[in-house]
Each structure stands twice: as structure tokens, then as C-alpha cells.
Amino acid sequence: MAEAGEFSRRAFLNGRMDLVEVEGLADLIAAETEMQRRLAAEQASGGLSRLYDSWAKRLTYARAMIEAELDFADEEDVPGSVAASIWSDMHILAQDIFNHIGGARAGEIVRDGLKVVIAGPPNAGKSSLLNYLAQRDVAIVTDVPGTTRDVLHVDLDIGGYVVRLYDTAGLRETDDVVEREGIRRTHLSLEQADLVLLLSENDTTDWIGLLGNFTGPILRVRTKTDLSDETLPNSPVNVMISTKSGVGIDQLIDRMSEHLPSLDVGGSLALPTRERHRIGLETCRQHIQAALDNAAAGLDIQAEHLRLAGHALGRITGRVDVENLLDVIFSEFCIGK
Ligand SMILES: Nc1nc2c(ncn2[C@@H]2O[C@H](COP(=O)(O)OP(=O)(O)O)[C@@H](O)[C@H]2O)c(=O)[nH]1
Ligand SMILES: [Mg+2]
């Protein structure tokens, strides 16, 4: 019997797929929305790997030039200070990687979903909104304040993106141990939130303080608008909804969509999708920067930073090749003929 992932593992060990492609394949199998599928397909088919390989080549080439200058400086074939010419490219590479890291946030949101937490005082209509958007009775709805204690979530598909919606316990002071635990969990989910929907039947301003030190974007939502004939709120509010009549829900979804990454249809989806990628890229970029900043330390120290940069990149794809520095050197020059 085949073990989990056995064929992909063999493909990796035999050099047919690298780690990024294997991860992409796993994501492709698990993909549930159109954007997840597109991102995973790009990664599984080597789009991201080709980019990283091309960067690795540039690093190897730069190191080869430095080695050539260090080792064969007295050879006629090696033009003087050939290494100098590589630094402008290393400068560009550091910038390329920096820009690429800038897409990590979008990549993670496409892959893992935009995390939206519904918060607010008890009885504001939080669970009703979750059920309405999920189109089924996920959460218990009663008129007893403090009904919800566990953090529940549903995944919505909004325009091909995953939006992971969390229902939480209403925020208030309480002596009930179970409810207090629920409120503690609400605060934990707020730490992970990309967006908070702050719900209240009346002025949401009173409740902002309850969000603790959440610093991300907040949509203020006035609920149960079917109960009042007020058309314009007299307090700052972004959307007015009723889960009884359905009024305002489309508008709420539109406002939530504004927080999704905008990936233009024709554009490249070669984005880092995992924390692991982002950390490796950041390490790589830092070493290139260190090489650029340490000209005074000498070429050998700079070359070592470039080696570490290449290593960080290689760890992402799992291809830390035996470096053919000399191959590059010999193919560029005719040292030794
Ligand atoms: N009229 C009206 N009642 C609502 C609406 N949304 C929720 N409710 C009622 O408000 C009460 C509390 O709702 P619930 O969703 O449990 O609030 P939560 O404590 O914030 O989760 C329940 O009795 C719901 O039926 C609404 O849009 N209109
Ligand atoms: Mg509730």
C-alpha cells in the first residue's frame, strides 16, 4: 500500500519535483475555490520554482565571478575587477526579492483565506449573521445574551476567494466561567483576524474598546435594521444590515471584498504562499544586502554572504545543489584552456 504522499516523495527524491512544487500539488488537491486552484496550479507546475531557480543562478554566477577574481587574478583571461560588474545585478536581485516578499500577504490570504471575525456585544446578531452567510444553522441563535461560547467558523467563497468567517462570544464583563472562557477565545481569534466586523444594534462606537489591542481594519455594522425605521444612522457606521429581511447583506459582502487581494486575471500568480517561503526569502535578501554593504570587509566575506543567500533560497525549493562554481568559471573563461 502506498503511504500518504509516497509518490510525491519519490518524485522529489528523484529530482522530478522540488519542495515548492510538492507543496503546490498538495494545495491543488485541497483547493476549494477558483483562486486557490489558480495559485496552487501555478506553484505545482513550477512557476514559483523557475523564479527561484533563476535567482539561484544569478547568485551562483556572481560568486563564480568573485572566485575567479580571487583565485585567478593573475590570469590574462580574467578581466580586472570583473566582480565589480556583478554588484549592480545583486542590487537588482535584492530589490526583486523584496518586491516578491511584498506579495506574500496576498499569497497567504488566497491560500488560507481572509480571516474575518464577527465581534460585538451579546445579542447583537453575530450568530444570526454567520448563519445567514453560511446559509445554514451553524450557530445557535437565541435571545439569551451569552449563548455563543465556542468560536465557530465557516468558509465562504466570495468571488473565488476563501473568506473564513468566525463567530465569537459577545464581549462583556461576566461572572459566568464558561462565558468568560468564550470571551478569552474571542480575544485569541482577534489576534489572528485580517478584518473585524463590529456588530451592534445601536452605536458601535461604544464597543470599539472591547476589541482590545486589535489594530487591523474594522467594519462597523449596525444590525437589526428591520426593527427601526431609521434610514440614516446618527453614529459612524459602514453598513446597515438585517438578517431578517436580508437588507444590506450584499453591501456588507462588497465591503468585505475590498479587503481581498486584487490579483489581475492575466497577472502572474507566482506568489509565496507559506510562512516558510517568506522566511527563506527574507534570509536570502538579508544576506545579499549584507554582501552589498560589506565591500570594506573584502571579496571573500562578500562571497560568503552570497553563498548563504543561495543556501537560504535552496532550502525553499529543497535543492541545495552541489555548486558548480568551477563549471561556471570554466565556461566563462578559458583558464587552463
Ligand atoms: N428583528 C431582528 N432580530 C434579529 C436579527 N438578527 C438577530 N436577531 C435576533 O437577536 C437575537 C440574538 O441574535 P444572535 O444572533 O444570537 O446574537 P449574538 O449573541 O450576537 O450571536 C435573536 O433572538 C435573533 O433572532 C435581525 O436582523 N432582525
Ligand atoms: Mg452568538
pLDDT in tens, the chain (337 residues): 878 888 888 888 888 889 999 999 999 999 999 999 999 999 999 999 999 999 999 999 999 888 888 877 666 655 556 667 899 999 999 999 999 999 888 899 999 999 999 998 989 999 999 999 998 888 888 888 888 888 888 999 998 999 999 998 888 888 888 888 888 888 888 998 999 999 998 877 777 887 888 889 999 999 999 887 666 666 678 899 999 999 999 999 999 999 998 776 556 688 998 899 999 999 999 999 999 999 888 888 999 999 999 999 999 998 766 555 666 656 665 555 4
SS3 232: coil
Our answer on whether the CB atom of 186 is closer than 6 Å to any ligand 1 atom is: no
Backbone angles phi, psi at 218, to 5 degrees: -125, 135
Q: Tell me the CATH number for domain 46-103+271-332.
A: 1.20.120.430
Cα–Cα distance, 25 to 141 (Å, whole number): 40
Our answer on whether the CB atom of 127 is closer than 6 Å to any ligand 1 atom is: yes
Supply the DSSP symbol for 211: G
Q: Tell me the CATH number for domain 108-257.
A: 3.40.50.300
Atom 14 (ligand 1) nearest CA = 125
Q: Judge contact between 296 and 314, C-beta under 8 A.
A: no
- Within 10 A of 226 (CB to CB), how many other CB atoms are there? 13
**Which residue pairs from 259-262 have beta carbons closer than 8 angstroms and sit at least 24 positions apart in sequence?**
259/114, 259/116, 259/194, 259/195, 259/217, 260/109, 260/114, 260/158, 260/159, 260/161, 260/163, 261/105, 261/106, 261/109, 261/110, 261/161
Backbone angles phi, psi at 268, to 5 degrees: -75, 140
Q: Ligand 1 atom closest to Cα of 123? A: 19
Supply the DSSP symbol for 199: E
Give me the pLDDT at residue 91, please.
95
Ligand 1 centre to CA of 9 (Å) is: 50
Question: Smallest Cα–Cα separation from 40: which of 266, 274, 242?
Answer: 274
Mutation probe of ligand 1 site: the residue of 118, 128, 133, 227 with most atoms within 8 A of C-beta: 128
* Range(s) within the chain of domains with CATH label 1.20.120.430: 46-103+271-332
Our answer on whether the CB atom of 153 is closer than 6 Å to any ligand 1 atom is: no
Give me the pLDDT at residue 59, please.
94
Question: Smallest Cα–Cα separation from 236: which of 248, 226, 223, 221?
Answer: 221
* Range(s) within the chain of domains with CATH label 3.40.50.300: 108-257
SS3 101: helix
